[in-house]
Amino acid sequence: MPEPLLAVHDLSVVYETDRGPVTAVDGVQLTVREGEFAAVVGESGCGKSTLLFAIAGLLSPPARISTGSVRLRGADLVAMTERELNELRWRDYSVVLQSAMNALNPVATLAAQYKDAMAAHGTYTKEQIHDRSVEVLRLVGIDPVHLRSYPHQLSGGMRQRAMIAMALLLTPDLVIMDEPTSALDVVAQRSLMVQIKELQQLLGFAVVFVTHDMSLVSHFSDQLLVMYAGQVVEQGPTRPVFDQPSHPYSRGLLEAFPSIRGPRVPLRGIPGSPPDLAAPPSGCRFHPRCPLVFEPCDAVQPSLYAVGAVRSRCLLHTSAATEATS
């Protein structure tokens, strides 16, 4: 197998607080190959955005990476200085943040911001910068006349598309997206997701996409990570996770969204609240909310067990895991 584009190994992120260190991301493993679409899903506060910021090298105090590595084409981003990371950003990987209104400079036109991004990574003529800016705006379905627009003059959907266009200026191999559709209505969400997938297939870049909405990525992602309380609880190809989720938390997330097909069934949701990561529950972190909890769950910390094509952090699969490895 060729070397993966992105390899995250045993990555943990700690926040230093008055109550002591809080582990927000706990031992995450992730491999993304060229052209692959990987989605990270989970409730608010599960650690998915912290994971994204750690991968992108955008953590700031009191957060820090305590263990693990993030390798992009074999180069460890964790060991790099800020100056070394700045050479890779936009060129080798780029980031689309959750709120484009906050990410874009409110007092600069799109043309000026695109020019700054390109000028920071090479020597280009005014004509080259203009032509590339026009090209990427057309890729995302925005009339190039809006190069003269300021962010507040654009709708929410247009601002997100403008951010995606900016992320593609230097044709990076990896685009990391932190809930880029969260501020949009459902019609605009679907339109933007279709466009992201079409751009990915056209240009061949890989995507790491963070969202709280599992249904949003069901038909777009190749690989799915379901996170809970800082840990990956289920990981594998997207279709098996959706068709037959192996972890009770994954099932709960799916049952919280209505289906447009099949018989009408009541939405169940997940009772309770996510745990306090400063004092996580013993054993399985999901056991206080789990409908399938049994005796060992409050004492034994589960690993990720192989269940067919996926891996699941649930003690229900220990016997199957033991048989598979014996």
Residue 49 burial (CB count, 10 A): 20
Tokens linked to 41? 């899903």
For residue 289, give every residue at least 6 positions away whose Cβ sits within 8 Å of its Cβ, in sequence order, or none: 249, 252, 270, 271, 272
β-pairing, 310-312 vs 231-237, is antiparallel
Query: Measured between alpha carbons, how far is 102 from 114 in angstroms, rounded to an integer?
Result: 16
Contacts made by residues 117-120, CB under 8 angstroms, sequence distance 24+: 117/90, 117/166, 117/169, 117/170, 118/169, 118/170, 120/86, 120/90
Q: What is the pTM of this model?
A: 0.91
Confidence (pLDDT) at 216 = 85
Confidence (pLDDT) at 326 = 40
Confidence (pLDDT) at 162 = 94
Confidence (pLDDT) at 320 = 44
Pick the CATH number of 6-92+172-325 from 1.10.760.10, 1.10.3720.10, 3.20.20.60, 3.40.50.300: 3.40.50.300
Confidence (pLDDT) at 269 = 77
For residue 269, give every residue at least 6 positions away whose Cβ sits within 8 Å of its Cβ, in sequence order, or none: 252, 255, 256
Strand order in the sheet with 20-32: 20-32, 6-17, 63-72, 75-76
Buried b (16+ CB within 10 A) or exposed e, 244-275: ebbbbbbbbbbbeeeeeeeeeeeeeebeeebb
Q: Provide the CB-side half-sphere exposure for 213 (13 A, CA).
A: 18
Confidence (pLDDT) at 259 = 66
For residue 262, give every residue at least 6 positions away whose Cβ sits within 8 Å of its Cβ, in sequence order, or none: none
pLDDT per residue of the chain (326 residues) written in tens, 0 to 9? 678 999 999 999 999 999 899 999 999 999 999 999 999 999 988 999 999 999 999 999 999 999 999 999 999 999 999 999 999 999 999 999 887 667 899 999 999 999 999 998 889 999 999 999 999 999 999 999 999 999 999 988 899 899 999 999 999 999 999 988 877 888 888 888 999 999 999 999 999 999 988 888 888 999 999 999 999 999 999 999 999 999 999 999 888 777 656 677 777 778 889 999 999 999 999 999 999 999 899 999 999 999 999 999 999 998 643 444 34
Residue 106 burial (CB count, 10 A): 9
Spans of all domains in the chain = 6-92+172-325
Q: Amino acid identity, residue 228?
A: Y
Tokens linked to 182? 């969260």
Question: What size, in residues, is the chain?
Answer: 326
CA gyration radius, the chain = 21
- Answer yes or no: are the C-beta atoms of 26 and 230 closer than 8 Å: yes
Displacement of CA 103 from its chain's centroid (Å): 17
